[in-house]
Structures are given as C-alpha cells and as structure tokens.
Amino acid sequence: MSHPEHDVHHLELLEQLRSRCLAPLDSAVVSDPIPGITRNDVAHLARLARIDLTDAELDHLAPQLAVIVESVTKVSEVADADVPPTSHPLPLINVFRADEVTPSLTADQALSGAPAVEQQRFSVPRILGEEQ
Amino acid sequence: MIAVPRDDLLRLSASALADALSVGEVSSVEITQAYLDRIVAVDGAVHAFLHVDTAGALAQAAEVDRRRAVGAAVHALAGVPIAVKDIVATRGMPTTAGSRLLEGWVPPYDATVAARLRTAGLPMLGKTNMDEFAMGSSTEHSAYGPTHNPWDLERIPGGSGGGSAAAVAAFEAPFAIGTDTGGSIRQPGAVTGTVGVKPTYGGVSRYGLVALASSLDQAGPVARTVLDAALLHELIGGHDPLDSTSIAGSPPPVVEAARRADVRGMRIGVVRELGGEGYQPGVRARFDEAVALLVGAGADVVEVSCPHFDYAFAAYYLILPSEASSNLARFDAMRYGLRVWPEHDQAASAEEVMLATREAGFGDEAKRRIILGTYALSSGYYDAYYGSAQKVRTLIARDFARAYEQADVLVSPTAPTTAFRLGDKLDDPIAMYLNDIATIPANLAGVPGLSVPSGLADEDSLPAGFQVLAPAERDDRLYRVGAALEAMLHEQWGGPLLDRAPALEGMSAC
C-alpha cells in the first residue's frame, strides 16, 4: 500500500530538518577549509581502520562520507576558543576497589569464543611479515 | 487450573502479571508458555527475536514457581518473562549485537543487567533484533534482516532497539531491555506505541553491554505502561562496582513517582528547538494536545529555548563515530568472534586476517561510522571535528542547565515523524540519522528521557511519541509526568493505544 502524497510530505520535512541542523553543502564554515573527503582518503582511512574495502564499496561509501563530513562541519560555527570541551556527561572521578582476589573466568571459559585454540592458548595468525 | 484466560495473560501489564503471580492466580510457567506460543504465532512476520530460549525460559519459570510454592521470598517481578536486546551479554545464550562478526558468540559471563534479571527470577524469553552494534534508527542495519512494525508490517519499528519495542508492541513480551545511545530506546517506543526510558547516564550499569559509544550508551526499560517501565528501571538500576561510571548512592524513586502520576504545580518546559518546522503535522498535533492535558492537570507550561540543540546532531555524528571506531577496534579476529582468512592465503599475517575479517564482518553502516570516526580522530582534523564537537557538548549541557532553572522537566515530540516504510532511507544515511534529532541532546548531556505514546497521527494513523526530559538523577520526574499523561490519554481513548494495533493473528506463515 502506497501513499505518494505522504512520501512527498516526508521529503519536505526532511529538507526542513536538514537546513536547521546541518551545514549547507559546499559551505566553507571551517576556518581552515578542509578539502572534501575523497575516494583516496576513504581508502586510506579504511586501511587505518583495518577494513579491506572493495572498489565497489569505495565508490559507494566515499560520496556518502563526503556529504556527512561536510554536514557536520556545522559544529565549528559555535565552537569558540573559550568554550571548554566536555568528554563525558557527568564528572568522572577515579574509582578504586579493594585489592582482593575474586572469582574470574576459567581458562576454558575465556577461550570458549576463540576462533582457534592451541595448548590452552589463543592461536593467532603470524604477527610479523615475511621480510621481518 | 488457569484463573486468567490465556489471551488476557498477553494483554496484562507486567505489574498486573506480578500481582496475579503473587496471589497464585497464575503460574510463571503458564505466563511464559503463553508468550512463547505468541512468539511462535507472530514472530515469523514481526522478526523481533534473533534467538528464542524456550527451554531456558520455561526452566527459569518453573524454578520461580517452585520457590513461590515453598513460600520462599521472591522479587515482586519474579516469574514475569522478559525479552533482552541482543547487545546485552547473556551467559549461555548467543549475543550477536546484530552483527555477523559475533554470529554464534555465546558469552561466558552475564552483563550486570542480565545478572539482575536472573537473580530476580525473570524468565528470559530470548534476544531481540537490533541495528548492527546499535547503529541505526530502523533495525534495517541488522545483519539478520529487519524487524517489522506491528502497526504496519511494511514499516520500520525504529532503531536501534526495534526488536525490543516490536516484541513488546506485538505482545511477544510484557516488557524488554533496550539500550539508548542517541535515541535507540525512545524513538522505537514512539513509532511502535510503547513506553521507553533512557535513564540518567550511569543510572544503569553498562558492564557487559557491547559498547558503541561509551560516553553516551545507557541501558533502560521498554514497556507497555509507564509503571511497568518504572518497575523494570528500579530492578536494573543502581550502583554497580563493575562499571566505574555507575552512579553511587540510592537511585531515584521511580516506582513511587509512577504510582503518584501527579503533575500539579510542576513546571513543564516546551523546547522551542525540538518541534515546529520539520516535524510531521500529526505528530505536532498530538504533542500539543498532550501539553494541553498536562496544563489541565495542574502543570504550568513555559516555552524554553535551547539554541545549541540545533548543533547537537552535528556534534553527535562526530562524537559517536569517534568513540565507535575506537570501541569496535576490539573486533580483531583474535580472541572471539569471526575470523576470516584472505582468499588463497593460509599464511596471511594477523593484520591481513584482521583486514579480511572486518571487511566480511561489518555491514555498511558500521563501516561508514568507523571510517568517519577514524577521520574525525586523525591528527590534523582532531581539533576541527572531535574537539569542536566536545565544545558543542558543553554548550548543550549549559542550555539544559539554563532550561532547568525555568522548568522541572522539558518536553518535545520524541521523533519528528511516524514510522516510515522499510527501505525508504536505508541508503541515505543523513535522512536515517535525522530520526534521532529530538532524542540526541539528552545523550550528549547525560540527562534522562522518556517516551510515552501520544496518539495516532492524522495523516497515517500511526503512533507518535511524547518525550519528557529531566535533570540528571531526577529520573523520577519522567515517571510522574509520563504516568499522569498516560492515565489521561487512556481515559480519553477508552484504553491503551495498543488496543488499536492490528491483531497479527495467524501471521506466522508470512
């Protein structure tokens, strides 16, 4: 069942929200203008994040990420130098506990989800490359 | 002998079920079996559950019945079954967080939330569907397929906790556990006609939740009534030494507040920035009517302005991906979860295995957010993006502080629109993100929020939600306002909103 009129209405609402809460695209609100995020940038970032993206994914994700990155530059409109940053919603205090032995996972429990186990240890691929 | 007819068992609130159990009118096994049968009947169509633990739930129910039979002291909710979002680690029960990366993972330990449910004797019916790692507003980013909204199976149930909300709305569970990082309890509540509460940050332990954004994540109750949400909130809330961000001291008196349901003399602040343009007319109409009801019940209404809320969305989509990219780095294919070897390379290095595993294991949305977070945290861009977003977070907290000088609670529509059709926004990330526009500020500031049904929008006869926000650690105020509004609306409607939802009978073949 389709309601075409309603869909058009949804799109209008969406545009209104976009214009209220996101930076207009192609704006240069960041004082040090950041050149749009490119396909090569995304490939580099994916490598840093250890995700082996395919060419098709790069084609698909790069333009989407460029739009998102440009939209969120809106934060720089109000982020003045004299505003202190907040990393955490409530004040954090250091928390101590008594230095007592408490029951913890057995070795078998700790290894129960491991992709591979050998001699009661996590078995992992080689760490060093051929030339190292 | 069953004193309460089976169909009525499904319609009863958790609170009424608890009362019936305590006087022996019904057994936990009977209730739990009724819900398991309902899941069999309708979940083929709704797909709220990723895992149903029939044997485990019935065993827990039988154990509670046995304890009651011998006169042992039990928790008031003992024997009332519950559904749990699949982001909560449950010992012996699969926990996937909606991701292929954790397919088949069975945690060797319980999250504190799960442990409290077990200790209190609530049979766990199963684990509910969600967007992968709680990233989304529709459950369409679940690696295991979307959940369908019980009001219209072609529409989204909200997200990320669409499974918990749909399970409760479809009478597949009396109540459920959700988690809310930017609205994942409240927005699904709004679009499914159910009640959802995000407690104050630190009010409920995060120990054993699969972490998305650690400074924003908070677990909370999903229910059909405000009192049920309060009863569950009280059970799972309170200090936990296993979570260093857990609030010490006694939790707010939420159950008492829900029973009091009285707004006389309360100052209610309508947030100018969370309404108006961009909000669906039918959603706005139900909101305005709800405010008028509260005024009629003796509340004072003031308009408040929180000018930086218009920047919350942008700040959130820098802070969340940044924290997520860091948290999800733990999925490295070494100690648990998926391990994928690159094709034709059994001598691959750990790094190459990691690249192949994360490529195969993460879905589109997780990849988008991890890359975005990696970008926002990279040197050279850190100050412009993550640093600026943290400053906006300060400005939003200040807006809240000023607003709470004028008002005891703040109110707004929970979501800008009713449920949209499955598929409509799947590949338009920003359109999807904007569903959380009204819920995000609370997470950034750590304050509690509740969504309660406000009625059906005129355009599409789908549920809309009314959001209440309170100062940190004053979660009780949410329940006072929510329960008062709920009582007035039920009287107006002649019963709960969910009475008007489709019956979904005989839909298992879908």
Pick from A38, A47, A34: nearest CA to B371: A47
Q: What is the C-alpha separation between B198 and A80, in angstroms, rounded?
A: 30
Residues 354 through 373 of chain B touching chain A, CB cutoff 8 Å: 354-356, 358-359, 362, 364, 367-368, 370-372
Q: If you average pLDDT over residues B255-273, what whole number do you get? A: 98
A26–chain B nearest CA distance, Å: 16
- What is the amino acid identity at position B294? L
pLDDT of B509 = 40
- Residue B305 in this model has a pLDDT that exceeds 50: yes
- Is B247's Cβ below 8 Å from some Cβ in A? yes
Position A30 scores a pLDDT of: 42
Rounded Cα distance between B285 and B283, Å, is: 5
| Three-class SS state of B413 | strand
Active-site residue among B15, B27, B85, B325?
A: B85
Q: Is the residue at A42 inside a domain? A: yes
> What residues of chain B, 288 to 327, have a C-beta less than 8 Å from chain A?
308, 310-315, 317-318, 325
C-alpha count within 13 angstroms, C-beta hemisphere, residue B177: 33
Residue B405: the pLDDT is: 98
Beta strand B409-413 with B267-271 is parallel
Assigned domain for B305 exists? no
pLDDT attached to residue B214: 96
Cross-chain Cβ contact A9/B280 below 8 Å: yes
The pLDDT assigned to B6 comes to 73
Q: Answer whether residue B307 is part of any domain.
A: no
Structure confidence at residue A132 as a pLDDT band (50, 70, 90): low
Output the pLDDT for position B507: 54
pLDDT in tens, B195-208: 999 999 999 999 99
Q: Which residue has the higher pLDDT, A91 or B256?
A: B256
Q: In what order do the strands lie in the sheet with B300-304?
A: B49-52, B124-128, B82-85, B175-179, B219-223, B195-198, B449-456, B463-469, B409-413, B267-271, B300-304
Which pLDDT band holds residue A10 (cuts at 50, 70, 90)?
A: confident
| DSSP state letter for A6 | H
Buried b / exposed e over A78-116, threshold 16 CB at 10 Å, is bbeeebeebeebbeeeeeeeeeeeeeeeeeeebbebbbe
Is pLDDT of B505 > 60? Answer: yes
Residue B19 lies in a domain: yes
Domain that holds residue A32: 9-80
pLDDT tens-digit map of B200-247 = 999 999 999 999 999 999 999 999 999 999 999 999 999 999 999 999
Stretch B28-49: mean pLDDT:
98
Q: Residue B159 in contact with residue B187, Cβ under 8 Å?
A: yes
Name the pLDDT band for B506 (thresholds 50, 70, 90).
low
Checking if the pLDDT of A20 tops 90, the result is: no
- The domain that contains B81 carries what CATH number? 3.90.1300.10
3-state SS string for A46-113: HHHCCCCCCHHHHHHHHHHHHHHHHHHHHHHHCCCCCCCCCCCCCCCCCCCCCCCCCCCCCHHHHHCC
Q: Which domain holds residue B31?
A: 6-266+449-500
Helices (H), B332-455: 350-361, 364-376, 388-406, 429-433, 440-445
Query: What tens digit of pLDDT does each residue of B387-407 get?
Result: 999 999 999 999 999 999 999
Residue among A10, A69, A88 minimizing CB distance to B417: A10
Please state the φ and ψ torsions of residue B458, each to the nearest 5 degrees: -65, -35
Contacts of A108 (CB under 8 A, 6+ apart): A120
Cβ neighbours, 10 Å, residue B59: 14
Averaging pLDDT over each range in A16-25, A89-98, B402-411, which range is the top one? B402-411
- C-alpha B71/C-alpha A108 separation (Å) is 38
- Please say if B378 is a catalytic residue: no
Residue A76 lies in a domain: yes
Work out the percent of chain A whose per-residue pLDDT is above 90: 54
**Cβ neighbours of A5 (radius 10 Å):** 9
Interface of B with A in 29-88 (CB under 8 A): none
Q: How many domains does chain A have?
A: 1
Give the contacts of A90 (CB within 8 A, at least 6 positions apart). B200, B201, B202, B245, B247, B446, B472
d(CA B324, CA B334): 19
In this model, does residue A27 exceed pLDDT 70? no
Which residue of chain B is at minimal alpha-carbon distance from A109? B108
B440 strand-pairing partners = none
A67: in domain = yes
Residue A6 has pLDDT above 70, yes or no: no
Q: How many domains does chain B have?
A: 1
Which residues, in sequence order, are CB contacts of B185 under 8 Å at separation 6+?
Answer: B161, B164, B165, B178, B179, B196, B197, B198, B220, B221, B222, B451
Q: For residue B250, is pLDDT > 90?
A: no
B85: annotated active-site residue: yes
Minimal CA separation from A115 to chain B, in Å: 6
In this prediction, residue A2 carries a pLDDT of: 45
Tell me the CA distances in angstroms from B33 to B90, B101, B150, one per residue in order. 21, 32, 21
Q: What percent of chain B shows pLDDT beyond 90? A: 93
The answer to whether residue B489 sits within a structural domain is yes
Q: Quick: pLDDT tens for B166-197.
A: 999 999 999 999 999 999 999 999 999 999 99
Q: For residue A49, tell me if it sits in a domain.
A: yes
Domain assignment of residue A36, yes or no = yes
Classified as helix, coil or strand, B438 is coil
Active-site position among B15, B99, B138, B160: B160
- pTM score > 0.90 for this model? yes
- Asked whether the predicted pLDDT for residue B376 surpasses 70, the reply is yes
**Mean pLDDT for all residues in chain A:** 85
Pick B384's closest partner by Cβ from A22, A30, A85. A30
Average predicted confidence (pLDDT) for chain B: 96
Distance from CA of B422 to the nearest CA of A (A): 12
Nearest to A75 by CA among B419, B382, B324, B262: B382
C-alpha B448/C-alpha B257 separation (Å) is 14
